[in-house]
C-alpha cells in the first residue's frame, strides 16, 4: 500500500482509513494518506479502533500524524499500543497520516481504523 490522497469536502465530508491486513510475519509495512480540505476547514481524526504493538518510542509499529507548515513538518502525535488516541483536530487544512510496521510487528495486532472528517475552522472542539 503506497501513498494515497484523501480530499474531504461538503460532498464527501468523511472518509474512513485503516491499516492494511497483513498475513505474513516477515512483512514490513509503510502507508501514508495525504488528507486535505478547502480553506476555512480543518481535519478531525477519530480512531474507531487501535491495536498496534507497544514498543519503546513506537519503533516497531506506529501511526504518526504530521502537519506541513511551509518548509517545516510538525508532528501532531505518534501512537502505538492498545490505547485509543483522543480525537485530533488539525490547525491547518493538510495532514499526513503515516502507518509503519516492522517485520513481525503486525501479528497478532490488527492495526487501526480511523474516521477523517471535515471540521469548520471556526468550530471549537
pLDDT tens by residue, 28-66: 889 999 999 999 999 999 999 999 999 999 999 999 999
Asked whether residue 49 is domain-assigned, the answer is yes
For residue 122, what pLDDT is reported?
A: 81
The number of domains in the chain is 1
Give the tens place of pLDDT for each residue, 67-105. Answer: 987 788 999 999 999 999 999 999 999 999 999 988 766
Q: What CATH number corresponds to the domain at position 9?
A: 2.60.120.290
Question: All 3 cell numbers of residue 57?
Answer: 518510542
101 exposure class (CB count in 10 Å sphere: 0-12, 13-18, 19+) = buried
Domain that holds residue 47: 3-120
Q: What is the pTM of this model?
A: 0.89
Asked whether residue 125 is domain-assigned, the answer is no
Amino acid at each position: 500500500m503506497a501513498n494515497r490522497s484523501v480530499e474531504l469536502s461538503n460532498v464527501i465530508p468523511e472518509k474512513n482509513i485503516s491499516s492494511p491486513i497483513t498475513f505474513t510475519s516477515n512483512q514490513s509495512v509503510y502507508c501514508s494518506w495525504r488528507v486535505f480540505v478547502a480553506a476555512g476547514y480543518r481535519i478531525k481524526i477519530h480512531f474507531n479502533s487501535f491495536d498496534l504493538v507497544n514498543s519503546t518510542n513506537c519503533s516497531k509499529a506506529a501511526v504518526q500524524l504530521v502537519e506541513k507548515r511551509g518548509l517545516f513538518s510538525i508532528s501532531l502525535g505518534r501512537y502505538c499500543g492498545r490505547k485509543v488516541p483522543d480525537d485530533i483536530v488539525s490547525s491547518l487544512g493538510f495532514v499526513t497520516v503515516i502507518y509503519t510496521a516492522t517485520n513481525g510487528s503486525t501479528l497478532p495486532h490488527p492495526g487501526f481504523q480511523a474516521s477523517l472528517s471535515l471540521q469548520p475552522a471556526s468550530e471549537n472542539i
